[in-house]
């Protein structure tokens, strides 16, 4: 979220010891974008295990549907929190986690739930991958998803998608229109991450039933274009994501995470452009806290951003260039691969925004 990383805010350097308690306090600024966010354990070295065992959930900052055309305002939104579990006996596996092993996929902690819709009805769905490691390639065998928000940012260009790729940490706010009466399936397609292969899996049944209702016109934009002008870039940096398979160690710019080291020191209010380079042979979802970014190019091809985002997949060999403004908050926070197994194994770095 776009909140302070200091003190008891979005401060990942804090750790709450076993048996202790701690009160976090997030002050949501007036200009905070409405949308879908999430929370999870960020304990370095333990984040995979703790999220895998359940320590994650969704946060909704309200106001997104108020940005929709008048006849779509005020309709109830539906949270779709995607998690996975490997069940051994009556417990969830927590040691020697193999994200490539057979996995039970759950939606809001239920296996294959049913969602009803009327033909023509429009429902806002909040899709969030709140699992530790695995990816989703979502498809609804019906109308396309109409994307109105990405990573908690209302989009300036609404777009349609038959598939949505959600690496760990990714969120999309979409509008779903009720198809003709019948049963449809929200599923994740087979996905090859480079090291791991996730099979096609059914997630939720959509039952279209009842009297057909008139479908309101879809929006084309929720907010003014918020692209960051290239002329404002004051600093360019390269971040290389690599690994050593023999030791299962992961690096950013050849270094493992060290909470006592500051890797990047941008100045408050300035714009930087980072080239994210994946020199390993598997995919890594890049994620950064506090300030979201605009994707400028992927694999050397210009990218037409439809909004800001905080998570972007890095494919081997395809540089991703992002532009970001370090606005509003000074202090220390992190960027990392959101496959928590990789983060725990070193693929995280410290940013300190200074005056």
> Whole-angstrom Cα distance, residue 34 to residue 47?
26
Provide the minimum distance between the beta carbon of 345 and Cu ion in the complex, in angstroms, as a whole number.
9
Tokens encoding 252: 């950013």
β-pairing, 78-85 vs 122-129, is: parallel
Query: Contacts with Cu ion in 148-187 (CB under 5 A)?
Result: none
**Min separation Cβ 248 and Cu ion, Å:** 12
Q: How far is the CB of 57 from Cu ion (least distance, A)?
A: 22
| Site for Cu ion, residues 309 to 348, rule: CB under 5 A | 337, 339, 342
The DSSP secondary structure of 5-57, one letter per residue, reads -STTSS-TT----TT----------TTPPPEEEEEE---TTTHHHHHHTT-EE
CB of 244: closest distance to Cu ion in angstroms? Answer: 13
Nearer to Cu ion, 188 or 341 (CB): 341
| Minimum CB–partner distance for residue 14 and Cu ion (Å) | 24
The pair of three-digit structure tokens given for residue 346, joined into one six-digit string: 């070193």
Answer yes or no whether residue 284 interacts with Cu ion by CB under 5 A.
Answer: yes
Closest distance to Cu ion from the beta carbon of 289 (Å): 16
Instruction: Give residues 215-274 in contact with Cu ion (rule: CB under 5 A).
Output: none
Q: Which is nearer to Cu ion, 155 or 337 (CB)?
A: 337
Total residues contacting Cu ion by CB under 5 A comes to: 4
Q: Is 15 or 248 the residue whose CB approaches Cu ion more closely?
A: 248
Question: Of the candidates 329, 227, 255, 243, which has an alpha carbon nearest to the alpha carbon of residue 288?
Answer: 329
Q: Which is nearer to Cu ion, 143 or 195 (CB)?
A: 195
With beta carbons less than 8 A apart as the criterion, state whether 286 and 311 touch: yes
Nearer to Cu ion, 56 or 283 (CB): 283
Which residue, 42 or 284, is less far from Cu ion as judged by CB?
284
The kind and range of the H/E element at 341 are helix 340-344
In this structure, the chain runs to a length of: 355
Rounded Cα–Cα distance for residues 330 and 123 (Å): 38
DSSP bridge pairs for 126? 79, 173
Q: Which stretch binds Cu ion (CB under 5 A): 38-46, 77-85, 201-209, 281-289?
A: 281-289
User: Applying CB under 5 A, does 105 fall inside the site for Cu ion?
Assistant: no
Binding positions for Cu ion, rule: CB under 5 A: 284, 337, 339, 342
């Amino acid at each position: 979220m776009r909140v302070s990383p200091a003190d008891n805010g979005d401060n990942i350097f804090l750790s709450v010891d076993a048996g202790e308690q701690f009160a976090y306090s997030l002050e949501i600024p007036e200009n905070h974008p409405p949308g879908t966010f999430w929370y999870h354990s960020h304990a370095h070295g333990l984040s995979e295990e703790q999220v895998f065992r359940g320590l994650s959930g969704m946060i909704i900052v309200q106001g997104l549907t108020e940005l929709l055309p008048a006849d779509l305002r005020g309709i109830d939104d539906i949270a779709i929190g995607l998690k996975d579990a490997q069940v051994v006996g009556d417990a969830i596996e927590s040691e020697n986690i193999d994200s490539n092993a057979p996995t039970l996929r759950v939606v809001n902690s239920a296996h294959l739930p049913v969602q009803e819709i009327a033909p023509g009805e429009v429902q806002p769905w909040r899709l969030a991958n709140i699992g530790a490691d695995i990816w989703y390639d979502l498809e609804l065998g019906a109308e396309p998803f109409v994307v109105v928000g990405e990573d908690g940012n209302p989009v300036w260009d609404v777009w349609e998608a038959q598939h949505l790729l959600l690496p760990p940490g990714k969120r999309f706010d979409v509008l779903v229109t009720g198809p003709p009466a019948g049963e449809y399936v929200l599923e994740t397609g087979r996905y090859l991450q480079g090291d791991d292969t996730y099979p096609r899996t059914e997630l939720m049944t959509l039952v279209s039933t009842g009297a057909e209702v008139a479908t309101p016109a879809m929006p084309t934009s929720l907010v003014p274009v918020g692209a960051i002008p290239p002329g404002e870039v004051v600093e360019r940096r390269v971040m290389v994501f690599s690994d050593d398979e023999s030791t299962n160690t992961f690096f950013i710019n050849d270094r493992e995470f060290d909470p006592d080291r500051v890797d990047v020191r941008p100045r408050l209010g300035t714009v930087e452009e980072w080239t994210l380079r994946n020199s390993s042979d598997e995919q890594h979802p890049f994620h950064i806290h506090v300030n979201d970014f605009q994707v400028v190019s992927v694999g050397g091809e210009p990218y037409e951003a439809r909004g800001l985002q905080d998570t972007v997949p890095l494919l081997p060999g395809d540089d991703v260039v992002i532009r970001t403004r370090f606005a509003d908050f000074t202090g220390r926070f992190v960027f990392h691969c959101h496959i928590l197994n990789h983060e725990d194994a070193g693929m995280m770095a410290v940013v300190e925004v200074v005056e």
